Chains A and B, each alone.
Chain A
Amino acid sequence: MRDLNIRFIAAATLSCLVLQAGLSAQEDAPGAKDGEKKSAERVEDRQGPETSGARRINPMAKLLELMDPDGDGTITASELDGFIAKLDSDGDKRVNDDELRVRMRAILSALRPGSSGGRSASGGRSRGSGGRQRRSIDDPGVSRESAEASNVLKQATRSGGLPGPGDRAPDFRLSLLEGSAAPDYVKPDEKGLIRLSQHQDKKPVVLIFGSYT
């Protein structure tokens, strides 16, 4: 546990430094010397509509705030353990790169001012850092149809009724992308569609779900 903590602190600190370097380039110097709570307040102060862009936020302050839930300005070993448990989404008692990145992304997007501000239908602003904004379904740049459909799918992904090992894989009947490799083991049916149920008996099938973005 001890070496884990140390490694984690090193990783967290490093990533904060990187993030700060990237995002808070215009952060004024005195902020660094303030206590963490004070910095966090300063961050809150900046959430007003007049602040612009991601440059004037302090992810470090937010991270420290998360690590110090009782807010006494110090981080105890048990607070740190709790923090690790919070980040450790795969339950292996370790915080890996991905888990840290997910959390930092969440912190950054929460800190970004104006994520619900009116945007034109052309939508997504370029944000430099590669981080993503979260928008409300009522945002003018959001297609309600798409948002609702993606929410349905997110829920499906979280639901309990998915086919696990030993369950019958639900059949599908879908079109094959024209021009995509169609080796001889891929056999379209009479309508030119591909059915999972017609691709059994001979070989196992790997299904890779994903989209462009």
Chain B
Amino acid sequence: MYIREAHPIDGLSPLPASRSVNDPKNLLERTEVASSCAKKLNFTMPMLIDDMKDSTARNYGGYPDRLYLVGKDGKVVYQGGPGPRGFKPDELEEELKKVLEASPSGKK
């Protein structure tokens, strides 16, 4: 889930320009940044792009980063803490293992 930039050059807590980007102002720009992000970091997972109202980041408290696991019933199984401190992939992995063990047919 690609959401609003945490440290854009024109933001409140920017990274140096050499390592950052301007905050995308429309969906096209956002898509471009998402694309270079995916390329640079060699992402292999499907990547969704949040809308410019930041609806998803808002609904999930996903900014600046966060993990969730949603069960087959559409209910949240695991809500990670707010990132970056609460961003703990190990916790997610453990929860995911539990879910998959409980219903082996649901393997990803």
Contacts and interface: CB of A to CB of B under 8 A. Distances in A.
Interface of A: 89-90, 98-99, 102, 121-127, 132-137, 141-143, 145-147, 149-154, 156-159, 162-170, 172, 174-183, 185-186, 194, 196-197, 200-213
Contacts of A213: 5-8, 15, 19-21
Given A150-B11, A177-B31, A126 B17 contact: yes
Contacts, number: 263
Most chain B beta-carbon contacts within 10 A, residue among A124, A125, A156: A124
Interface string B1-33: 111111111111111111111110101000101
Contacts of A185: 108
Nearest to B89: A208
B17 A210 contact: no
Contact of A132 (B2, B7, B65, B82): B7
B74 A197 contact: yes
A45 B47 CA distance: 49
Is chain A's binding surface mostly helix, strand, loop or mixed?
A: loop
B56 A179 contact: no
Contacts of B27: 175
Contacts of B11: 135, 142-143, 146-147, 150
A153 B5 CA distance: 11
Contact of A180 (B3, B43, B66, B100): B43
Contacts of B77: 165, 204
A210 B35 contact: no
Interface residues of B, number: 80
Given A141-B14, A177-B38, A210-B66, 5 more contacts: A126-B16, A126-B18, A150-B4, A208-B45, A211-B4
A76 B44 CA distance: 52
Contacts of B35: 177-179
A113 to B, nearest CB: 17
Contacts of B3: 153, 209-211
A204 B106 contact: yes
A133 B70 contact: no
Nearest to B92: A206
Given A179-B38, A209-B60, A211-B3, A174 B51 contact: yes
B22 to A, nearest CB: 8
A166 B75 contact: yes
Given A180-B46, A209-B60, A203 B69 contact: no
B61 A162 contact: yes
A208 B13 CA distance: 22
Q: Which 6 A-B pairs have the closest CB atoms?
A: A209-B62, A153-B63, A124-B14, A146-B23, A210-B65, A212-B37
Interface in B61-93: 61-79, 81-85, 92
Contacts of A175: 27, 31, 48-49
19 contacts: A102-B85, A132-B15, A137-B12, A145-B25, A146-B10, A152-B54, A153-B3, A153-B58, A156-B58, A159-B61, A167-B76, A174-B1, A204-B70, A204-B100, A209-B56, A210-B62, A210-B64, A211-B3, A212-B36
